[in-house]
Structure 1
Amino acid sequence: MEKYGYIRVSTKDQNPERQSAAFEKYGIRSENVYLDKASGKNFERPAYQKMLKMVKKGDVITIKSIDRLGRNYGEILDQWRFITKDLSAGIEVLDIIILFI
C-alpha cells in the first residue's frame, strides 16, 4: 500500500506548506505529494491527473480537507466513486472526524 497526498491552492495567498506539513506528520513521503496551483472548478489539473495514474489498488489518497479536492460537490462525488470503485483505492480526509458507535 502506498500513501499519496494531494495539495491544491487556488490563490497566491494560500500557502501549500500547511497542507504539506500535515502529510509529513502522517508519514506521507514528499515524493508522493502532488501539488496543483489551480482553481477547484474542475479536475483537469496536471498534478492531480498524474497522481491518479500512479494510484493502484489498495493505495490511499490523503487530502487536508474536502474543498482541496474540488469545489463542485457533484464532481467531487464522481471522483470519489472513481477512486474508491474503479481504482479500488482509499481516500483519507484529515479535517473530517468520523465517529463509529
Structure 2
Amino acid sequence: MLKTILYARVSTTEQTSDHQLEQARKAGFQVDEVVTDHGTSGVTTKLAEREGGKRLFDMLREGDTLVVRWVDRLGRNYQDVTDTIREFIRSGVTIKTVINNMVFDGTTTDPSQKAIRDALIGFMAAMAEAQAEANKEAQRAGIAHHKATSPEKFKGRKPNFSRASFEAVQAMLNTGQGHSAIAKATGVNRNAVIRIAQDPSKAEAALEKWGL
C-alpha cells in the first residue's frame, strides 16, 4: 500500500511538528504518517544521520510520496539536500513541498525536463544553505552588538563572593570541613560553597570574567 509521509524537522525541542502537519493538510495533502526530528540541526547533521531521517530511508518505498514544508526541512546543507532528493527520486519516491507545491520525481524521461528539474533542485538547496548562513551571520552580528552595548549579559551571573573568599573556601574544603561550617566562617552563601566544591574551575572562570 502506497503511503504519503510528512517529514518535519523542528530546530528546538520546545517546538512541535503540529504546525507543519496542519499546513500540509490545509494544502490538501492526505498524510498517512508523520516522521519528526526534534532539536536537530539541518546544517551540521545529514538527514541520514538523524533519528527521523534514518526512519525515512527505512520506510519509503517505490511509489510513496514524501511531503515536506519546504526543502530546508530536509536540511540546510547543499550537498546533503541535493544528494538526498536525487537518491529518493532514483528509488521511485515522489517529493512534494507544501510551500509552492513543488513536485520532484523520476517520471520524466525528456533530457531537457530532467535538466530543469535538477537545476531547480540545486537552486532550492542552495537557497536553503544561503538562508542558514544569513541567519548565522545575523546572529553573530547581534551577539557582537550586545557584547558591545551590554557586556554584562555575556559574563553570566556575577559571583556573590570575592577572590579572597573563593580562596578561603577552597582552603577550608581542602581540610575536609563541611559546607555549612565553611559558609558560616567565610560569609559565602552555602549554595555557592557547594558550587565551588563541585566545580572550582568554573567558579574561578566567573571571577576572571568579572575582573574579580
TM-score of Structure 1 vs Structure 2, range by shorter chain: 0.7 to 0.9
**What displacement does 1:20 show?**
1.5
Whole-angstrom distance in 2 between the partners of 1:46 and 1:3: 19
Q: How many residues are aligned here?
A: 95
SS in 2 for 1:92: strand
Q: 1:92 corresponds to which residue? A: 96
Structure 2 length-normalised TM: 0.42
Q: 2:42 corresponds to which residue? A: 40
* Stretches of structure 2 lacking an aligned partner (at least 5 in a row): 103-212
- By relative contact order (CA 8 Å, sep 6+), the higher-ranking structure is 1
Q: 2:19 corresponds to which residue? A: 18
Select between 48-57 and 13-22 the one with higher mean Cα deviation.
13-22
* Stretches of structure 1 lacking an aligned partner (at least 5 in a row): none
Q: 1:65 corresponds to which residue? A: 70
Whole-angstrom distance in 2 between the partners of 1:61 and 1:12: 23
CA RMSD of aligned residues (A): 1.6
8 A contact 2:24–2:98 mirrored in 1: no
Whole-angstrom distance in 2 between the partners of 1:16 and 1:83: 22
Q: Deviations over 1:20-78 (max 9, x none)?
A: 2123341102xx11000111122211111112211110111000111111001221000
Q: 2:30 corresponds to which residue? A: 27
Larger radius of gyration: 2
Whole-angstrom distance in 1 between the partners of 2:55 and 2:101: 28
Whole-angstrom distance in 1 between the partners of 2:19 and 2:93: 24
One-letter code of the match for 2:20? Answer: Q
Judging by fraction of residues, say which structure has more helix. 2
Structure 1 length-normalised TM: 0.83
